[in-house]
Amino acid sequence: MKHLKATTFLIAAALAAPLAAQEAGGRLDIVVQPEPPSLMLGLVQNGPTQLVAGDIYEGLLRYGTDLKPQPLLAKSWEISEDGLTYTFKLNEGVKWHDGEDFTAEDVVFSADVFLRETHARLRASLEYVESITAPDDTTVVFQLKEPFGPFISVFETGTMPIVPKHIYEGTDFANNEMNATPIGTGPFKFEAWEKGSYIHLVKNEDYYVDGLPYLDEVYYRVIPDAAARAVAFETGEVDVLPGGSVENWDVPRLTEMDNVCSTGSGWEFFAPHAWMWLNNREGPTSDVRFRQAVMYAMDREFQRDVVWNGFGNVATGPVSSKTNFYSDDVTIYDHNPEKAEELLAEMGYDGEEIRLLPLPYGETWQRWAEAIRQNLSEVGINVSIDSTDVAGWNEKTSQWDYDMAFTYLYQYGDPALGVSRNYTADRIQKGSPWNNVEGYDNPELDEKWFDAATMISPEERQAAYDEIQKEIVDDVPVAWLLELEFPTIYRCDIKDLVTTGIGVNDGPRNAWIEQ
Amino acid sequence: MTILIAILSRLAKAALTLLAIAVLNFCLLHAAPGDPAVVLAGEAGAADEQMIAQLRERFGLDQPLYVQLGKYIAGIVQLDLGYSFRQSAPVIDLIAERLPATLLLTLTAFVISLTCGIALGVAAAARVGKVSDSLLTTLALLFYATPLYWLALMAVLVFSVWLGWLPGFGYETVGSDFSGLARALDILKHLILPALTLGLFFMAVYMRMTRASMLEVSTADFVKTAKAKGLSGPVIRRRHILRNAILPVVTLAGLQAGQLVGGAVLTETVFAWPGIGRLMFESLAARDYNTILGVFLVSAAMVILFNIVTDIVYRIVDPRIGARA
């Protein structure tokens, strides 16, 4: 982990200069599943919207597979010694897709006005911000109230998409008519959306990086059935299957085809982490011995190998090994049914029924729930599967109506952005499926989480998070399962599709097709 | 005149039925767990109280249920199906956008199944007991018993993946810039597999029904009389047997016609056909209340409409029915 607080200037030119070998032209057909409800990224941030709108809108920064920031709208940046002042120099000559000039005022408007109102995840980070100002047209300064370690990670396109001030200022954001035809600064412009069929983006000829993008157009294809998506790739209708668009058991068949490549990279920034919420408030799951027994009862390597066809890693604790400040110096829960039985006997578990809520995201998740039910019943835990649809799952988890419930969440590169929210007591609030849903309440650890977030030195933060991980893993507030891996499958003649930790979301910017 | 009065009274009853359906749908939907705000918040991957409260207020979900119901019914009476907050568009526009694709698919399937079903049924009845009859009835039984979903996937596998004859999904070639006849041909190519898949089940039903009904009528006394008059086989079959045997088929066709709008969810999903069934299914998953209610209402209206049409067709096919009413 490099020291970020020192005055580091990074220059974009070297990274962006096109190489001679890259060829311009061509069209890319990418699957998007499910169809996004809207492409206005400032209002809607679900996965499909981020995938498509990540080509239209841009943030100040993007992040490499090593999670280090790279230039996007900002060409360089500087963090003051005390960790309180973040100064961004913006690219010059940037235009909105409607021809208007992009300036620092757009950034101030987006972060301070628009997204503060509409973007729940960013709002939490903006709590640390004292002021956002634009001293001149190409400079933006974020002044913090207190140091916030992960602040440099909040400038990604899905986290802080910059929206045009000249279109949204003074309007009702949610009902602005321009939401249907999004205007961004990105490498591709919105062209057409045939609902139920496809979204068509075309090259932004005026993009501010010379030579980019290489592709002429991108079609995002809406194909609702997983088997049909696999067929679409087989027959050559589509060129790219972003992670998670086909069922896992179809992946080997597709990757064995000629001229087909796949990569697990491109998810480092998100680091999807899967676990089961264990209701810490009532029933057997409120007993730490029961929760530990669940961990020992599960054969997570088998689950990974069979249910996920070998994709992913067994999670050691709350932080993904891909996220900054990960530590593996924790109690390891191997598959140990005897130990699980001992723990259950010690607490006097009487066979009370445990309701398990699977994630209604397709066949893989259903099978996963069945595999875990089998593991748990082997040590005598009486599990019933409580099936529902996506809306029902959201309702039940956010209203705490479950004993065990599957979920997976993104970590956004830093424990203070995507991990602590699930374990600190101030985030115990009904109504959201993404906060401290399990009801884990440990004031001592809460203090440590808060302190770790506001430390400036990465070394200090690492030490603090090492300690937190060691302690929390013994408490098993939730049953950690796997660091998920969603392979992206594509034709091998598509080059540079996945070059960052954000993957296909901003992939078409640099992608090119070998003729 | 009696027909006119009958139709008017049916229309009045239909309006009341529709209203009752709307109220029932509304109550059923709101009884399901989750609401659009929860779903949207869930999809965002992060949410706080403020966000959910904002969404509920925007969607009008913060008001008591009876107020929401009252507003919805008041809208329907003025032919206003409401607004889809999820898709930021009036529901009527969303439905109108998807209706042509669905009607093209379901009407094609309807016509194919009805014409082929009756023709094959007549043919089978005429050859009763022969090999060709057994072959036809066996095939019909097979199509009747095969799940639509499986049939669709197999059709794609064989004709699209293995043989490469027909496109496996979609409405037209995306980004092809076809126009006029070329575009029509392109759409036709995309239409063949889904329309056949959707039509096969009903074709089998019509065929079996026509055959059975034809055989039953052919033993009636007036058929003997016709034979005694010296009429030829085909004339007897067409004018005496078929006309009497067709009534149950008309009933069933009325039922199928009622599903023209909402009955193709599975086919549309497997073949990525941008129709109304998918709109309904996806809106249901997202708890996009106004859109689902709108699709339900239009579907219900179609069912009622075709029930009335069926009754009229009865009277035309068999004038005795009108006289009795």
What distance in Å separates the CA atoms of residue A126 and residue A118, rounded to the nearest whole number?
A: 12
Residue B69, classified by CB atoms within 10 Å of its CB into exposed (0-12), middle (13-18) or buried (19+), is: middle
Tokens of A142: 């974020």
Contact assessment for residue A197 and residue B171, using Cβ atoms and an 8 Å cutoff: yes
Of the partner residues A179, A231, A432, the one whose CB lies closest to the CB of residue B160 = A231
Q: Which of A514, A496, A493 is nearest to A504 (CA)?
A: A496
- Do residue B161 and residue A409 have CB atoms under 8 angstroms apart? no
Three-class secondary structure of residue A247 per DSSP: coil
Q: Chain B: nearest CA to A238, how far in angstroms?
A: 11
pLDDT band at residue B323 using 50, 70 and 90 as cut-offs: low
Q: To which residue do tokens 């022969």 refer?
A: B130
CA atoms within 13 A of residue A391's CA, in its CB half-sphere: 20
Of the partner residues A29, A223, A398, the one whose CB lies closest to the CB of residue B38 = A398
Instruction: Count each helix (H run) and each strand (E run) in chain B, helices first.
Output: 16, 2
What distance in Å separates the CA atoms of residue A55 and residue A190, rounded to the nearest whole number?
A: 9
Q: Which of A60, A108, A97, A104 is nearest to A178 (CA)?
A: A97
- Do residue B45 and residue A45 have CB atoms under 8 angstroms apart? yes
What distance in Å separates the CA atoms of residue A328 and residue A262, rounded to the nearest whole number?
A: 28
- Do residue A197 and residue B171 have CB atoms under 8 angstroms apart? yes
Residue A424 neighbours by CB under 8 Å, 6+ apart: A436, A445, A446, A449, A450
What distance in Å separates the CA atoms of residue A499 and residue A259, rounded to the nearest whole number?
A: 19
What distance in Å separates the CA atoms of residue B322 and residue B325, rounded to the nearest whole number?
A: 5
- Do residue B42 and residue A398 have CB atoms under 8 angstroms apart? yes
Of the partner residues B43, B169, B282, the one whose CB lies closest to the CB of residue A35 = B282
Of the partner residues A45, A217, A223, the one whose CB lies closest to the CB of residue B169 = A223
Q: Residue B166 — φ and ψ, nearest 5°?
A: -130, 150
- Do residue B269 and residue A224 have CB atoms under 8 angstroms apart? yes
- Do residue A197 and residue B274 have CB atoms under 8 angstroms apart? yes
Q: What is the DSSP string of B140-195?
A: HHHHHHS-HHHHHHHHIIIIIIIS--S--S-SS-TT----HHHHHHHHHHHHHHHH
Residues of chain B in contact with residue A429, where contact means CB-CB under 8 angstroms, are 48-49
- CB contacts < 8 Å between A and B, how many? 166
What distance in Å separates the CA atoms of residue A361 and residue A343, rounded to the nearest whole number?
A: 32
Q: Which of A31, A160, A197 to mutate to test the interface with B (most CBs of B within 10 A)?
A: A197
Contact assessment for residue A170 and residue A182, using Cβ atoms and an 8 Å cutoff: no
- Do residue A197 and residue B174 have CB atoms under 8 angstroms apart? yes
What distance in Å separates the CA atoms of residue B158 and residue A230, rounded to the nearest whole number?
A: 15
- Do residue A434 and residue B46 have CB atoms under 8 angstroms apart? yes
Q: Say what the ipTM of the complex is.
A: 0.83
Residue of B nearest to A390 (CA): B285
- Do residue B278 and residue A224 have CB atoms under 8 angstroms apart? yes
Residue of B nearest to A191 (CA): B175
Of the partner residues B35, B44, B156, the one whose CB lies closest to the CB of residue A46 = B44
Sign of CA dihedral A119, A125, A131, A134: negative
Of the partner residues B51, B161, B282, the one whose CB lies closest to the CB of residue A235 = B161
Residues of chain A in contact with residue B58, where contact means CB-CB under 8 angstroms, are 174
Residue of B nearest to A398 (CA): B38
Of the partner residues A196, A388, A433, the one whose CB lies closest to the CB of residue B33 = A388
Q: Chain A: nearest CA to B70, how far in angstroms?
A: 24
**What string of pLDDT tens digits covers the 515 residues of chain A?**
444 443 344 444 444 444 446 788 899 999 998 888 889 999 888 889 999 999 999 999 999 999 999 999 999 999 998 999 999 999 999 999 999 999 999 999 999 999 998 888 898 899 999 999 999 999 999 999 999 989 999 999 999 999 999 999 999 888 888 999 999 999 999 999 988 899 999 999 999 998 889 999 999 999 988 888 998 999 889 999 998 899 888 898 999 999 999 998 999 999 999 999 999 999 999 999 999 999 999 999 999 999 998 899 999 999 999 999 999 999 999 999 999 999 999 999 999 999 999 998 888 899 999 999 999 999 999 999 998 888 889 889 988 999 999 999 999 999 999 999 999 999 898 888 888 999 999 999 999 999 999 988 899 999 999 999 999 999 999 999 999 999 999 999 999 999 999 999 988 999 999 88
Residues of chain A in contact with residue B39, where contact means CB-CB under 8 angstroms, are 390-391, 394
Residues of chain A in contact with residue B153, where contact means CB-CB under 8 angstroms, are 227
Q: Chain B: nearest CA to A395, how far in angstroms?
A: 5
- pTM for the predicted model, two decimal places: 0.87
- Do residue B169 and residue A228 have CB atoms under 8 angstroms apart? yes
Alpha carbon separation from A456 to A4, A79, A461, B306 (Å, rounded): 9, 11, 8, 72
Of the partner residues A46, A389, A431, the one whose CB lies closest to the CB of residue B49 = A431
